[in-house]
Amino acid sequence: MMENQRFHSELRDKLLDLESPFNERVSFEAVMKKREKKKRRIILWIPSMVVVAGLFVVGGLGMLWVNTDQDPHKVQQVSLSKTIVKPKSNVKPNPSNRITAEAEKSTRIGESAKVNRPSKLGGFTGDSRVAVVSPSFLEDAKTVDQSNLVVSAVSETTASVQTTAEAKAFVGEDLLCDPQGIETVSIGFSDPLKDHVEIPEGEYEAQWDPALLKSKWYAEFAATTGSSVVVNFNEDDRLSILGNIYHANYHGLILKDVGRGFMLGAGLSYGEMLGTGEWRVREYEERISIDSYDLVVMIPPVQTVRVYDTTVSQVRVETVGQLSFRIDKYAIPLAARYNFMLGKMAWRAAAQLNPGLTIKTAGDFFTNTEYAAITSQKNLTMDVKLAVGPTISIFNNWFLVLEPNLMHHTYRNLKSGESRGKTLTGFGVSVIHHF
Amino acid sequence: MTEQELVDGCIREDRICQRELWNRYSRKIMSLCLRYCNSQEEAEDALMEAYVKIYDNLSKFRFQSSLETWMRRVAVNLCINKIRARKHIWTSITEDEYRLGYNDDAFEHLQVDQIMKLVEALPVGYRTVFNMYAIEGYSHKDIAEMLGIDEGTSRSQFAKARKVLQQQIHKSEGGSQAS
């Protein structure tokens, strides 16, 4: 009954057939335009979403890595189930002990090297062995999820001698990790000798084996760009220059971690500096214009007199011209880096001094108010670069640093002793490899 | 040009066919949009959006109904989406109130244009349900699903819409008789 309370079919049909006008802005062309716009938006949207998603994934993985490495959880223990024997009561545990195992049972361990050095073990002396636990063994042990775990084992020739085991995981240790977690500088450049590992209760602390320490050496490859707009709108200046200066700098460095987050290094760099612009000279000239006309004096005798009218006016004359220069140079950069944490993000501050030589110069170097020809091909150069940016881990032992930077470029003519320079700001990217 | 040719042409992105589709149905769809939207501008925007959707999705048209019916459905869906986005609060009435019913005879004396104006003047909730139920022919169940409301709410909105419409008609009739 209720469902039948619709409109009269006749009225309904009339309403359905009713046509309504619309404004001029609504047209077939407008609809097509809207459709094209929508399609274009989709075309742009999809790749941009892919890029954003990729960045999120990379960032997320980086953060995950940082967070995982900074977790204060206990280092997992390798449990050599059948090979570990509890210490006998008459043997004092020695914290300097390494993984020890019964010699005959160490066959499960893929021995990678033998070190015939004496090692102390509960008052006894025996052969030391550095062994690598095979991944299959670790799977059996079910206690370690990292496959390249390195353990040191000292085996005693006497079977009854106390055996203890200690595993130290260095797997995936990276420079963004500070095992201490409480250092002010804590992204892994601190002195590794100071690092400690939380020792689970009842276990024995292992001594650091220098052979297992991470390298303190890093390689850095970077590309830095920057620009500066040269502009002078001061009408009072005789010469004003409008232009742009760009630079691109590429360098390779070897850096050494000197502790407390600092790294020092040196390398080789190549840089290009380009400038294009326009100079404008405003000069005021005095111009004299002389008008003359003949005046007829009607008084007899009738005479004609030529009258001269001199006008002096000041006219502003503008002269314009093109400017450009190019400086190519090699340098030996001396670099200092400081790594620090801000929240959960690793950051790096960089200072760099690039003493070097130009290898090719051309054109006229310019600033806002002056320009001069670069007369010599060989000039001393000294560039200073300051940069700060986030460090992102991209692969194991590979890092990316995004560096907004400020770079001051100078060159000095050896013959005339004249120096010129310009500060440019820009963006750089550095890739760091930890050896 | 038959509907089949028109649809095929539009799918091929044939501008002549696309223009023909516009010329043939745009005013009717505009009339539909006007019944659902609050203003002429809003209706015009809805019309253009509806046509963009129609052109983009014509390949999905299976000829199970007439092209016009399909296009109307696309436009109605679009308008409803717009209404739903406005988060309209639906009010409901009791079943008894609904059962009272009203006489449609009053509408017979009116011109279509007048009815359109009266419908357009209805509040959004009443207007939407009235349009969908009385004019487009949807059931209350369908309306409830499409609008995300209870079936009872749909019924009550329709009843209220009729009541308001009849009051408006009586008012206008009274006014004309007095003059």
Please provide the DSSP assignment of A80-117 as one string: -TTT--PPPTTS---TT--EE--GGGGGGSEEEEEEEE
Is B137 close to A31, i.e. CB distance below 8 A? no
> Residue A30 above 70 pLDDT?
yes
Which contacts of A87-96 are long-range, i.e. CB under 8 A and separated by 24 or more positions? A87/A122, A87/A162, A87/A164, A88/A162, A91/A122, A91/A123, A91/A161, A91/A162, A92/A122, A92/A123, A93/A122, A93/A164, A93/A204, A94/A120, A94/A121, A94/A122, A94/A204, A95/A204, A95/A205, A95/A207, A96/A120, A96/A207
Q: In terms of CA atoms, which chain B residue is nearest residue A15?
A: B112
Which residues touch A404 (CB under 8 Å, ≥6 apart)? A387, A388, A389, A425, A426, A427, A428
Checking DSSP bridges between strand A262-297 and strand A303-331, what pairing results, if any? antiparallel
Q: In terms of CA atoms, which chain A residue is nearest residue B100?
A: A2
> Residue A370 above 50 pLDDT?
yes
- The predicted model gives A124-137 an average pLDDT of 42
B99 vs A: CB within 8 A: yes
Instruction: Determine whether A20 is exposed, middle or buried from the number of CB atoms within 10 Å of its CB (0-12, 13-18, 19+).
Output: buried
Show residues of chain A in contact with B98, CB under 8 Å: 2
Tell me the per-residue pLDDT of B60-83, one tens digit each, with 9 for 90 and over. Answer: 888 888 888 899 889 988 888 877
Q: Which amino acid is at A269?
A: S
The residues of A whose Cβ lies within 8 A of any Cβ of B are 2-3, 5-8, 11-12, 14-23, 25-26, 28, 30-32, 34-35, 38
What percentage of chain A carries pLDDT values higher than 90? 22
Nearest to B138 by CA among B118, B125, B115, B155: B155
Q: A198 is written with which tokens?
A: 């939380």
Q: Which of A147-151, A236-240, A366-370, A389-393 has the lowest mean pLDDT?
A: A147-151
Q: What angle do CA A227, A230, A234 make, to 5 degrees?
A: 160
Distance CA A196, CA A206 (A): 10
Identify any residues that bridge with A191 across adjacent strands, giving them in sequence order: none
Distance from CA of B48 to the nearest CA of A (A): 6
Place of tokens 């959006």: B49
Residue A369's pLDDT is 77
| Other CB atoms within 10 Å distance of the CB of residue B117 | 14
Mean pLDDT of chain B: 79
Which DSSP category does A417 fall into? Answer: -
- DSSP per position, A368-399: SS-EEE---S-EEEEEEEEEEEEEEEEETTEE
Q: Nearest CB to B19: which of A8, A28, A38?
A: A28
Place of tokens 């539909």: B32
Which residues touch A281 (CB under 8 Å, ≥6 apart)? A238, A239, A318, A319, A320
Residue B132's pLDDT is 86
Checking DSSP bridges between strand A398-413 and strand A419-434, what pairing results, if any? antiparallel
What percentage of chain B carries pLDDT values higher than 70? 81
pTM value is: 0.38
Distance CA A35, CA A46 (A): 17
Q: Are A96 and A157 in contact (CB under 8 A)?
A: no
Distance CA A268, CA A291 (A): 71
Which DSSP category does A415 fall into? Answer: T
Show residues of chain A in contact with B31, CB under 8 Å: 15, 18-20
Please indicate whether residue A221 or residue A48 has the higher confidence score (pLDDT): A221
Helix ranges restricted to H, A262-327: none
Residue A149's pLDDT is 40
Tell me the per-residue pLDDT of A199-212, one tens digit each, with 9 for 90 and over. Answer: 445 444 455 455 55
Which residues touch A305 (CB under 8 Å, ≥6 apart)? A294, A295, A296, A297
Q: In terms of CA atoms, which chain A residue is nearest residue B116?
A: A15
Is A19 close to B135, i.e. CB distance below 8 A? no
Tell me the per-residue pLDDT of B82-116, one tens digit each, with 9 for 90 and over. Answer: 777 765 555 555 444 444 444 555 566 667 777 77
Distance from CA of A20 to the nearest CA of B (A): 5
Nearest to A381 by CA among A423, A334, A327, A337: A327
Distance CA B12, CA B6 (A): 10
- How far is CA B152 from each of CA A359, B97, B147, B162, rounded to the nearest angstrom? 86, 11, 12, 15
Tell me the per-residue pLDDT of A263-307, one tens digit each, with 9 for 90 and over. Answer: 999 999 999 999 998 888 888 888 888 888 888 888 888 888 888
Checking DSSP bridges between strand A99-100 and strand A150-154, what pairing results, if any? parallel
